[in-house]
A = this chain, B = another copy of it.
């Protein structure tokens, strides 16, 4: 564990890279940096991470005060603000207490890691941190597992590229087939993540290639270099591993979890890995999923597989994040008895209670795959004795590839707040934090999401997609936060000095941008009207008749998937009451999920009072109007933003308008060709 390379705040703030500063421009530290600041961290035998974070806190304060006219002072020198590690009543090393009284602002924490989060709390508050009085506020994360998964390949994949489903250029970790020599940018990324609240990062794609498998072998020192860069910001590194590693790397002839040599190989691999990275978080694994190898090949269950790995990493305090994205990707479209939506539940719920204590079963938030609108996954609520983690996607695989301005805070907020047992009951976020009503409170799975960052100048392709990364971190810390207030934080930090007009325009563009995207793409929860493979642009029948299990069965009479117990696939039975009944009937099913749960005629009348087909026309015309309005609003306000950023946004809006118009016309024409029903209002629908 060497000292962090090139990641001092001074270097990070100095703009030495041609990279946008995102939500940590120099000016974000102006209020704090202008103060007289005391940092009190007692000398103690801290764990390595805490010790390094302590250095980071001191360095951040020193850099900010040097830049903005304040000073680092002793406690007796009448500081404006004190950041102090003190004995605490709780033992959450990430929590902190904020208070302001008698003209003094104070952050206290039991561990330097909490102090760092407190520091960034002050940064967010700006001048407000030093005005008036503040009651004592304790801030603690909702869950200790707040993770980003990188789908970065070391070797550029011939089809999927370097960052699978990435839309922000190459990887910040890898270039030219190896770990970058210069990890300065990773250090800056770590700082951004810490300021948003993320504390764990897996650094390679869950589809693990041959080269990436070697991260457990000869490339381990390279992985350790990355971990060294994350550590000073309180971020734990995880590795994605291949189930086939014992064969690929160890030369064994099997990966059977019951095989003693396999178990020994993994135990020795874990010994080796933790020797190199003593505080590694653990392994993420995609097994028996979309062609990846897994325990099924040996007649073993996912519990067998996960527990075998868990045993190997347990002596080191490691976790296994075992993904539940297991389904038949070679389904026969003619087989109406198979419903991909049921797969995660079917594969994992029977094993509830059998997973080891250090296994997190990581379930996607919806039963399909990160659609703009799908039901929540019932599997999340069905394993009270399992650590269930929930997986989201910050990268916008199905949501416009960071070419469209789509803010996802509201979508995540709605999902995280979904009350599985009816109003007032524990939410998705609660379950992820161990709060299943039938659980014992210890089964904490946490929250994970696929990162949207690449080596792009603005990190995220579309500069506004930075807001998604920021919001992801903030919502993992506090799922109950108002996502529009979070957006406001991002605006304040990212665009210091932006006037009211600029702020108002950003809200106008972004606040309801998720709903806008839904309006011009796949309607009413029907899902998967995207172009196969790329997942960008419309192709209403693109997944019909494929082996992927994602169909909508449109014919001349109607559309949608009957997932009822009465006449359909029976998927509704996987939900607890009341949802199993709410979704079962088209009379009670929410409009926005109607086609997810029911096959209905085009003339079916929604709760809104319009027919399905007219709803499609109305929302699609309106969706494009909204995009045009957003583009026009941007055109008026662009001058308030830095020119390079403004140019990028303007360029993206041109593509969004083109794409949204194409979506509108394709979807409208598709529904017209199938239904034969024209638009009530006589707008143009191509034949």
Residue of B158, B662, B686 touching A159 (CB-CB under 8 A): B158
Residue-by-residue, is A552-574 near B (CB-CB < 8 Å gives 1, otherwise 0)?
01111100000000000000000
- Cα-based distance from A643 to B229 in the complex (angstroms): 60
Q: Are A687 and B553 touching (Cβ within 8 A)?
A: yes
Q: Which of A265-321 contact B (CB under 8 A)?
A: none
Q: Are B158 and A556 touching (Cβ within 8 A)?
A: no
- Cα-based distance from A334 to B542 in the complex (angstroms): 18
Residue-by-residue, is A652-687 near B (CB-CB < 8 Å gives 1, otherwise 0)?
000000000010011001101111100000000011
Chain B residues lying within 8 Å of A454, measured Cβ to Cβ, are none
Residue of B nearest to A553 (CB): B687
Q: Is A541 an interface residue (CB 8 A)?
A: yes
Which of A127-135, A189-197, A425-433, A532-540 binds B?
A532-540
Q: Are A556 and B686 touching (Cβ within 8 A)?
A: no
Residue of B nearest to A672 (CB): B555
Q: Are A545 and B666 touching (Cβ within 8 A)?
A: yes
Q: Are B334 and A665 touching (Cβ within 8 A)?
A: yes
Residue of B nearest to A666 (CB): B545
Chain B residues lying within 8 Å of A669, measured Cβ to Cβ, are 545
- Cα-based distance from A553 to B334 in the complex (angstroms): 24
Q: Which of A510-555 contact B (CB under 8 A)?
A: 532-533, 538-542, 544-545, 553-555
Interface centre among A538, A544, A557 (most CB of B within 10 A): A544
Chain B residues lying within 8 Å of A555, measured Cβ to Cβ, are 672-674, 676, 687
Residue of B333, B336, B557 touching A676 (CB-CB under 8 A): B557
Q: Are B676 and A674 touching (Cβ within 8 A)?
A: no
- Cα-based distance from A554 to B533 in the complex (angstroms): 24
Chain B residues lying within 8 Å of A532, measured Cβ to Cβ, are 532
Chain B residues lying within 8 Å of A687, measured Cβ to Cβ, are 336, 553, 555
- Cα-based distance from A15 to B68 in the complex (angstroms): 82
Residue of B336, B553, B556, B670 touching A675 (CB-CB under 8 A): B556
Residue of B nearest to A157 (CB): B158
- Cα-based distance from A542 to B541 in the complex (angstroms): 7
- Cα-based distance from A666 to B541 in the complex (angstroms): 12
Give 3 closest A-B pairs by Cβ, nearest first.
Answer: A555-B673, A541-B541, A556-B556
Which residues of A come within 8 Å of B, CB atoms? Answer: 158-159, 333-334, 336, 532-533, 538-542, 544-545, 553-557, 662, 665-666, 669-670, 672-676, 686-687
List 12 extra interface pairs beyond A539-B541, A541-B541, A556-B674, CB under 8 A. Answer: A159-B159, A333-B666, A334-B686, A532-B532, A538-B545, A539-B542, A540-B541, A541-B542, A541-B544, A545-B670, A553-B673, A557-B676
A–B pairs, 27, beta carbons within 8 Å: A158-B158, A158-B159, A159-B159, A333-B666, A333-B686, A334-B665, A532-B532, A539-B541, A539-B545, A540-B541, A540-B545, A541-B542, A541-B544, A542-B542, A545-B662, A545-B666, A545-B670, A553-B673, A554-B673, A555-B672, A555-B676, A555-B687, A556-B556, A556-B673, A556-B675, A557-B676, A674-B674
